[in-house]
Structure formats: C-alpha cells, structure tokens
Amino acid sequence: MKRAPSKIKSDILLRVRLLYLLFMVAGGVVLGRLVWVQLFSGEVAYNARRLAGRIFTEETIPAQRGNILSRDGEPLATSIFRYQAAFDFGSEGLDSLRTFHEQADSLAKLLSAFFGDRSAAEYSRFFRREHDRRYRLVNGRDSDFLRPGGFLTRMLNRLRGEEYERRRIYDTLRDHTPVAIFPREVDYAEWEQLRRYPLLNWNMGMVYRLVERDERIYPQGELARRTIGLTGDRGNYGIEDSYREELAGRDGKAQRQRIARGFYGRVPGGDHEDPLDGMDVVTTLDLDLQDVADKALRRQLTAQNATWGTTVVMEVSTGEILAMANLGRNADGSYAERENYALGRSMEPGSTFKLTTMLTLLEDARMPVETLYDTHNGDPVTIGPAKNIRDSHRGDRTIDFRRATAASSNVYFAKAIWDYYGKTGKKTDYSNFLRERLALDTTVGLDRLGERPPQVTSEWKVPDPGVMLVKMAYGYRVRLAPIQTLTLYNAIANGGRMVAPVIVRELRRDGHVEERFKTRTIRDEICSKASLRIVRECLEAVCTEGTASAYFRDTLRLRVAAKTGTAQITDARSREGRHYLGTMVAYFPADNPRYTVLTTIETRAQAGKAYYGGPLAGPVVKRVVDYLYARGADWSARAARKGRHCYPERIKGGDIAQVRRIAGKFSPDVDYDRRTGWGRVAVDSASRVRIASLPDDAGTMPDVRGMGLKDALFVLESRGLSVKFSGHGAVATQSIAAGTRIRPGTAVTIILK
C-alpha cells in the first residue's frame, strides 16, 4: 500500500524546518559566542598576547661588571667579552648552494689558518655536512623513491640545474638550530679579525647569531685573591662579594622580533633601555708591595713548614692597606690564598697585646716607669691566683718598665696588673679602659669583608677572674684578629690617633669618581703625649736591645719600633703536637712613621723550626721594611734627578750645618758617621726615608746595595759601568765590592731580591 503524497510532502517539510531551526540555533550560538568573546571575554587579548609572545620577546642586555683596580689603576679583577658565532645553516641566505660552497671553502681555509686545530678540508666537510642536515628541498614530482636528500635526487638536481629545481619546489625542510663554528670562544681583538671573513661579514645575509659572554678574569693570578674575592659556585667572599651591587650595575632590555628559530632582530622604536655598567672599585693595594709581601711570606712559611700566615702593610696617617697577603698550606704542602686570616682569624695574640697593658698602666694606673719587679730569671712564679707564670728567657731579674718591654717579660706585666687591678679589686677599670679608650670592644670597620669582632671581657663573673686578669696582661684570655692588632699599633705610630683601616679607596664609573671613602677616626687620642713618648721609646728598645734586635739593630740606617709576640694556641688539643702563633708588628721610620707592618704565622713545634714571634715573623717584616726603605731611596733619587737636593754632599770636617744648608726647605734629620766622614740625610718630603750619600770619586765603585733598580742603574751607569741585573726588589749583591777602583766600560752584575 502506497503512502499518500501529502504525507511525504509534510515529512520533507518537517525535516527542512528542523534543519533550518538547527542552523538558526547554531548561528545564534556562534553569534553569541562572538559577542561574548568581543565584549565580555579576555580571550582575544589573551590570544593576541600569546601570538605576540611567539613573535616578539623582551631580551635582557646584561650590564658589564665593574673592575677591581689597584691604587695605581692596575686591574686586579676585570671582565672581558667572549664571542662565538652560532650559524643557522637552514637560513634562506644559504639557499644558493653554489655560492654557499664557494664561500664556505674560503672560510674553511681562513679558520684553519687562524685556529690551527683542523685542516681546511675538515672545516669544509663540517660546513657541508651541517648544511645538508639542516636544509632539504622537497620536489612536488619526487616520489618516495626519490626521497629528499637521496642520491638520485641530488643527481637529478645537478642535471636539471639549481634555478630550474627552485622553481618547482613547493616545500622546504629547514632546521634553524644554531651551530657553533669556532672551536673555542674568541676575545674582542680576535673577533674584529674574524668578522671580516666570508659568511661572517654578512655577505650572504644574516646567517648567524653572535653569542656574547661576559667572563671574569684575574690578571694578577693568586696575588691578594682572598682580598679581591670571588662570586659564584666556588664561593662568595672578598670585595667581589661585599661590593656585589656596586660592581654589577643594572641590566638593560630590548624588544626583539623572531626571524627564525633561535634568531631575533631588534624592533626599531621598541621598548629599549640601555644597560648601566657596574662601577669600578679602586682599592688601596700596591701591587709591587703586595708581590713582595706575598713572596716573603711564602718563603718563610715554606722554610718553617708553617700552617698559615698573613702579612699586612698599613699607611700610618691614612689607614690605607697597601698589602694584605694571606697564605695557607694545601694538602700537597704548597701555599695559596685559602682564607683571609688577617680579618677572619680571632685568636689569643700573645705578647703583642702587652701594648694595651703598657697603656693601661701608664694612663689609667699612673704607674711610674721606674717601677721595678723581680722576674725571677725565667723561673716559674705564682702571681695572685695564677701559677707557673714565667718568662721565655733567662738573664733578667729585677727590671724596669723599659727593659720589661724590650725583653717581653710576662712576669713583669702580670705582677704590675695584679698589683694595680687585682689586689685593689679594680678589674672592671682595667677592662673598661681596654674597651672605651682603646676601642677593643668593636671591629675596626671591615665587617663587610668578614672581620671577626674582638673578644675582650666586660664581665668578671667567671670561675677564675683573678687568673683571667693575670693572663690578659700578657695576651691570653682575649681574642683579636690580626687587623685589630695592626690598627692599635698604627695608632701609636700616628701620634695616638686611631684610624680605621681602608681597603677600598673610591668607586668610579666611566673614569668619574662616584664615591670616595675618607679616612675614619676611631679614637682621636688613645693616650696622652707623655704616655705616647714612653711607649714609643720602649718599642724602639725592642729593636735595639730586645726581641727584635736581630733584625733592626742598625739604627744608623733606619730606626724601627716593633713588638714581638708568641702565644701557644690553647684550642689545638685535637691536633698533633703544640701549635704556636708568632707575631711581629713594626712601624718606621720610628721618628716620623709612615708605615706599619704586621706578620702573623701559625706553626707547629718542630725540631729545627722557629715558633717564637721574632724568628718566625721577623724575616718577613724585615723584608717588607727593607723594600719600602729601598723604594723610598729610589723615589728620592728620581726626585734628585729632577733637581731636588736629595743626595747630600760630603760632610767635610763634620760640618752638619753645611748639610742642612744643602737640604734647605726639606728640614732633614741628619746622622753623621765620624768614623767614615759620611752623612745620611732624610730630605725627601714624600718618602721620609733616610738615604745614603754617595762618594764624589767617580773612579771608585759605589755601594748600591739596598737601592731600587732605577736608582742603582743611574748611579752605576753615570760612572761608565756596563750593568747587568737579575731579580726584582732591592739590590742585594753587587759583583764589584764597594770602594774598588773602576774604569769606564767595566762590567758589573747586580742581583735584586
């Protein structure tokens, strides 16, 4: 039975209406979605930002780290750029195979000659291999058999011709991954030469990206490395770390547009901010003096098989640190800058602390310098509650204040402190003087570089306050860092004014001073002029008749004031054998001090090795003092060649007034040797160091020992001698003895040490 036509027609109409309704609903949904997206949703902005993020990127332009410089501007730490060319072998600029092969072969020959690491043929094969891997042409008529890059495809390409093949390409397979082509990174000078080579000079377009890297280098090697410092995985310390923000500068930014994978070009007019390079940190370190201190300390540590040592040189009036050497023993027995011992080791100082005892007795207790005590010839004695107090040498019994300082008597100062502060119950007065007048309750201002605070008690509520008081008199039961001991002695050299040590002199940017660090005064006056005069005389006696006399007894040449100290390290029980800390502090010239020098060495008691402060630290201090003395003479000689009267004439008949007339306005100190008839005059206003006059007889060999190289050459060559020299520092030996008759043209050899 057939269905009625009307029924079929109505079914079709219903379906059409349903379909129409479906389209209407779909259209409404789409329209609603569009309205929502445009007016109410942030999807458009999000997608726009997402697209822009794929096309545009903000690149950080790193600021160049500032330099660390010596006082004379020599680089101690600096940053240099290293360069590498990252090639895009899939770049459109390399599509012309014939041209690419020609340029690549030329570049291969030049790179082979420049680096010398591989042959030109190897470079050429490397370029072609990378290009074949990252750039393939797919032909529309190629079958699976004629696969891209296959042998048959390449043969047909050569037969058809490159231009014909290019016209028939509808797809290109490219890999834009950058490929480094140099065997190593190059510096700026090398890059200036390499950038002229084919392909590197953009003769085929922008086909590579120049990769720059900022590398930190230390031109002076290990010299003063713990002071200069380091940042990064190997540690953070020293100036590099403490002045991190000043050295770092501020990074810049630039907007870049993506050109190809890994390659971006700068957007003209985009958001761009130039980097602000870091500031240069100018230190107070003197490179020549640092080298002398380092070598002298290294030599002594090796000779004594010591554990570690530090040597610091300070300019008296300004507090500037001219040298700071810190050497510790490695596992293989060599020495390196392992730790900043001058700042970071707080230990019992031993007899160098007797300076505080001397000042306390003179200033606070008002003890007369004529006071006598029996030191018992080195035998152990009991002082108050403390037992077995003894001196380290025999020969002294009843001595006065001056002799006690020269001989570094423990018994004398322990008895004096006990009598004036122990018996009278004035222990607090003693510690208050140390803290309030001598500033031994705080650091000297180098906390930023890792200075340890001193430990001097202010509370006497301990199990043995009497024993502590007695032992403090000669340098135990207190802890000081070497830099704090140096600062205290420098105050004596500076006329009683205690100044803070300075290691960083100023901050510069582009040669302009941004900040200058002035000398900071810790105490205007640590003692009276009368006490200062007595202490200075006693410290000079240490050099003329006391524990430092083996090194500075020659006062005709140079007067030095010093103090030695030895302390047995009480916290070394876990180590093998007894450990000692030996120290010597000296300032010179004693009558007009310019420099203060400290050397501290820790060692273990060993057969045939020194452990007392004098023989342990003395050779290093003497080497530094001799160098500064010789350099002062060298400066004086240069001033003399500029017309200043720095070398006096012969003092005829002991006429010292004649020498004063020669020196004129420089107001010299004059020494006269009646045995030889020669005078020594300190006439150089810059160095304040005594220099020796020279014989008038040009036919006699002069004595140039102790002079600097320039001064010695000037003197010897002025007499027509042919001079050969070796070493550096001051003249130690000369091949022709002084006073020998010489003739022009005679060869002489001098050795500097």
- The ranges assigned to domains in the chain are 5-41, 61-281, 287-626, 647-686
Give 3-state DSSP helix, strand, coil % of the chain, rounded to 5. 40, 25, 40
Lowest mean pLDDT: which of 65-69, 261-265, 692-696, 733-737? 692-696
Rounded-to-integer distance, Cα 731 and Cα 224, Å: 25
Lowest mean pLDDT: which of 176-180, 370-374, 506-510, 695-699? 695-699
Rounded-to-integer distance, Cα 284 and Cα 323, Å: 8
Rounded-to-integer distance, Cα 323 and Cα 390, Å: 36
pLDDT for residue 538 is more than 50: yes
Rounded-to-integer distance, Cα 408 and Cα 402, Å: 10
Structure token pair of residue 591: 């009558």
pLDDT for residue 696 is more than 60: no
- Spell out the alpha helix ranges (H) of 195-286: 225-228, 238-242, 244-248
Cα distances (angstroms) measured from residue 227 to each of 2, 300, 513: 109, 21, 22
In angstroms, the first-to-last Cα distance of the chain is 131
**Residue 262 identity (one-letter amino acid):** G
Residues in the chain: 753
Q: Closest Cα partner for 112 from 126, 99, 101, 98?
A: 126
Rounded-to-integer distance, Cα 614 and Cα 612, Å: 6
pLDDT for residue 160 is more than 70: no
Rounded-to-integer distance, Cα 599 and Cα 370, Å: 31
Q: Which of 109-118, 170-179, 453-462 has the highest mean pLDDT?
A: 109-118
Cα distances (angstroms) measured from residue 78 to each of 69, 160, 525: 8, 58, 40
Instruction: Give the Cα-Cα-Cα angle 323, 326, 332 (nearest 5 degrees).
Output: 145
pLDDT for residue 684 is more than 60: no
Q: Closest Cα partner for 439 from 524, 504, 345?
A: 524
pLDDT for residue 215 is more than 70: yes
Q: What is the pLDDT of residue 686?
A: 30
Comparison of pLDDT for 21 and 108, the residue scoring more: 108
Rounded-to-integer distance, Cα 59 and Cα 186, Å: 23
Comparison of pLDDT for 201 and 577, the residue scoring more: 201
Q: Closest Cα partner for 83 from 192, 217, 219?
A: 192
* pLDDT tens readout for residues 401-429: 999 999 999 999 999 999 999 999 899 99
| CATH T-level assignment (fold) for domain 61-281 | Penicillin-binding protein 2a (Domain 2) (3.90.1310)
Rounded-to-integer distance, Cα 413 and Cα 538, Å: 14
Q: What is the pLDDT of residue 234?
A: 74
Q: Are 204 and 83 in contact (CB under 8 A)?
A: no
pLDDT for residue 180 is more than 80: yes
Rounded-to-integer distance, Cα 548 and Cα 557, Å: 16
Residues 540-566, mean pLDDT to the nearest whole number: 92
pLDDT band, residue 154 (cuts 50/70/90): low
Residues 514-533, mean pLDDT to the nearest whole number: 95
Structure token pair of residue 74: 């020599």
Whole-number mean pLDDT of the chain?
A: 82
Cα distances (angstroms) measured from residue 341 to each of 242, 320, 337: 17, 18, 9
For residue 727, how many other CB atoms are within 10 A of its CB? 13
Q: What is the pLDDT of residue 204?
A: 81
Q: What is the pLDDT of residue 453?
A: 95
Residue with token string 């803290």: 435
The residues, any chain, with a CB within 8 Å of residue 193's CB and separated by 6 or more, are 114
Q: Are 716 and 723 in contact (CB under 8 A)?
A: yes
Is 522 strand, coil or helix?
strand
Q: What is the pLDDT of residue 387?
A: 94
Rounded-to-integer distance, Cα 414 and Cα 477, Å: 13
Q: What is the pLDDT of residue 717?
A: 72
Q: 585-596 as b/e, with b when 16 or more CB fall inside 10 Å?
A: bbbbbbeebbbb
Instruction: Give the Cα-Cα-Cα angle 268, 270, 274 (nearest 5 degrees).
Output: 100
Cα distances (angstroms) measured from residue 35 to each of 22, 29, 557, 720: 20, 10, 99, 103
Q: Are 707 and 633 in contact (CB under 8 A)?
A: yes
Domain 287-626, second-level architecture: 3-Layer(aba) Sandwich (3.40)
pLDDT for residue 148 is more than 70: no
pLDDT band, residue 462 (cuts 50/70/90): confident
Rounded-to-integer distance, Cα 706 and Cα 683, Å: 17
* pLDDT tens readout for residues 463-519: 899 999 999 999 999 999 999 999 999 999 999 999 999 999 999 998 899 999 989
Q: What is the pLDDT of residue 705?
A: 84
* pLDDT tens readout for residues 303-345: 999 999 999 999 999 999 999 999 999 999 999 999 999 999 9
* pLDDT tens readout for residues 569-585: 866 444 556 899 999 99
DSSP 477-489: S-BB-HHHHHHHH
pLDDT for residue 356 is more than 90: yes
Task: Give this prediction's pTM.
Answer: 0.71
The H-or-E segment that residue 674 falls in is none
Rounded-to-integer distance, Cα 254 and Cα 670, Å: 69
Q: Are 689 and 627 in contact (CB under 8 A)?
A: no
Instruction: Give the Cα-Cα-Cα angle 436, 442, 444 (nearest 5 degrees).
Output: 110
Q: Closest Cα partner for 535 from 512, 515, 561?
A: 561
